[in-house]
Structure 1
Amino acid sequence: MSVFTSIIAGDIPGRFVWADDLCVVLATIAPITDGHMLVVPRAEVTRYTDADDALLAHLAVVAKRVGQAQQVAYGAPRAAVLVAGFEVDHLHLHVLPAWDEQSLRFDNARHDLPAEELDAATETVRAALRDAGWGAQVPVSADSPALA
């Protein structure tokens, strides 16, 4: 079982901004920029290239919606989507507000942010998604992928 499956199951704490039948979106614990989120399918798919086309299409649409919310919330000119997948063997798309290509390197990840800062970034994205009309997909609580 992957760490993401454990987070989705509630065995490991997570910070959720989106949930639907196919995927969740949660905050990374090592953000490259404030508001950096991960779009993760509920099904354990190891690699991007292993996912079926319908799932990838859904993940892309969710990433777009999250990216649009991040741009508004953080005043970013772009939203970036990165697919690497080396750190966890469970497909995930990194979605983050971006100002330039230099800031999109994984060696810019901040591993020591206080929980309060991660919580604040999560709430910022949750609020932006609700404001954008996606409130039905924003979980009732940031610590659970359950919807109302």
Structure 2
Amino acid sequence: MASIFSKIVSGEISAHKVAETVQYLAFLDINPLVEGHVLVIPKIEIDYLFDMDSENYVGLMMFAQIVAKGLKQAIPCERIGMTVIGTEVPHAHIHLIPMNNMEDMNFARPKLKLSEERLAEIADRIREKL
């Protein structure tokens, strides 16, 4: 069964994309911890990040690094945090989160509710830096 991320890849569901290659996609989390919270995924349907073959795993990490560098330029922050939790959507994904302190990476706290217009503005800022 296709996950919500597979539906984003296929275009069935829209997303605020910030970067894309033939193999990988980066888009804004619609329930972000902070503004600029990006999800980076392989386009192939695979549930668990560490089940990816080495070539695709390394490629995904290299893609995430490129996105993180642009994200840091677009969103003022101390650094970009990265986490892999992978329980909420059965599709391998990496969270890239602009952070100024450890609390910015706390998934137990309430998520932001941003308007579509605000998400579009943030996505544009990130794309401009990539």
Compute the TM-score of the two structures, normalised by the length of structure 2: 0.92
Match runs of 1:135-146 below 5 Å: none
Match runs of 1:1-148 below 5 Å: 1-108=2-109, 110-129=111-130
SS at structure 2 position matched to 1:108 = coil
Q: Is the 8 A contact 1:31 1:109 kept in 2?
A: no
Supply the AA of the counterpart residue of 1:47: Y
SS at structure 2 position matched to 1:34 = coil
Deviation at 1:60, TM superposition (A): 0.9
1:28-58, Cα deviation, whole Å (9 max, x unpaired): 1011111111111010110012111111111
Q: Is the 8 A contact 1:35 1:124 kept in 2?
A: no
Q: Is the 8 A contact 2:26 2:38 kept in 1?
A: yes
1:58 and 1:11 map into 2 onto residues whose CA distance is 25
More helix by share: 1
SS at structure 1 position matched to 2:60 = helix
Deviation at 1:108, TM superposition (A): 3.5
Supply the AA of the counterpart residue of 1:76: C
> Unaligned 5+ residue runs, structure 2?
none
Sequence identity (%): 27
Supply the AA of the counterpart residue of 2:88: E
